[in-house]
Amino acid sequence: MARSILFVHAHPDDESIGTGATMAHYAAAGAKVTLVTCTLGEEGEIHVPALAQLEAAQADQLGGYRLTELAKACASLGVTDHRFLGGAGRYRDSGMMGTAANENERCFWKADLDEAAGHLVEIMREVKPQVVVTYDPNGFYGHPDHIQAHRVAMRAAELAGPDAPSKIYWTAMPLSVLKAGIEAFAGSENNPFAGIENADDFPFGTPDDEVSACIDGSDHHEAKVGALKAHATQIPENSWLYSIAGNFGAEFMGVEHFILAVGEKGPANGPNGWEDDLFAGL
């Protein structure tokens, strides 16, 4: 059976920031890579002044524009199979907790869990992924749509029966990587970690001994940077992501980490006893 891996993300750009190198790695290796995005990202902040009026409070056309950005990002990563959960525009960006967007009846946060999971089950039955990648129960950093994407992915795996994945991974950021970043940028002019002295101060960060896998996609660092640049409305040219890419690209941008949530751990051929292949053992 051909290798098939399914990524479940909340908004356009999440795929590139969190798993871009991994997606490019497996696409280049010939695996079937499927990306499911749960919303159009209508509530995103716009960093291109000429497009400012597309925001939700004005023309409310940002979601449609981000369709084109996502298409360009996927092209950079070599991903040819991309879908929106339930179809483009089925679920609206929920914004942050306590905002008006989070009360919108169409927002993803208010979606019926089994209904939303059902849309994902249909995709699972079609592409039959051995591996699914999504967020942890806190949505990595607490965004409602990330949390809901986690819930939908996990519920879909329960409902998929024989088409359920053998392994499910959650994205992770090892504390050792955060600590290394803080040390590497200390004193620099464009320090993305300015004001943070301790890795434990971040709203995310996984103890190294809880990390299960490390994918070295260093060879696809440029593809990931290209995907980030495709999301120009969301990632400004002076973003800390590009600071990292320019100074420590291969190490900090091309290597991504994961927690094995469902399934059996395979051979640990990576550093620190981590898997170096999400299909390990399958």
d(CA 178, CA 81): 32
CATH class of residue range 4-174+204-235+249-273: alpha beta
Question: Across residues 10-24, what is the average pLDDT?
Answer: 97
Look up residue 236 and give its amino acid: P
Q: Would the CA dihedral through 135, 138, 141, 142 be positive or negative?
A: positive
Residue bearing the bigger pLDDT, 182 or 41: 41
Could you tell me the residue ranges of all domains in the chain? 4-174+204-235+249-273
- 184-195 in b/e burial notation, b at 16+ Cβ within 10 A? ebeeeeebbbee
The two most distant CA atoms of the chain are separated, in Å, by 53
Q: Do residues 244 and 238 touch, judged by C-beta distance below 8 A?
A: no
- Can you tell me the distance from the alpha carbon of 84 to that of 117, in angstroms, rounded to the nearest whole number? 13
pLDDT tens digits along 57-89: 999 999 999 999 999 999 999 999 999 999 999
Element (H, E) at 190: none
For residue 194, name the pLDDT band (cuts at 50, 70, 90).
low
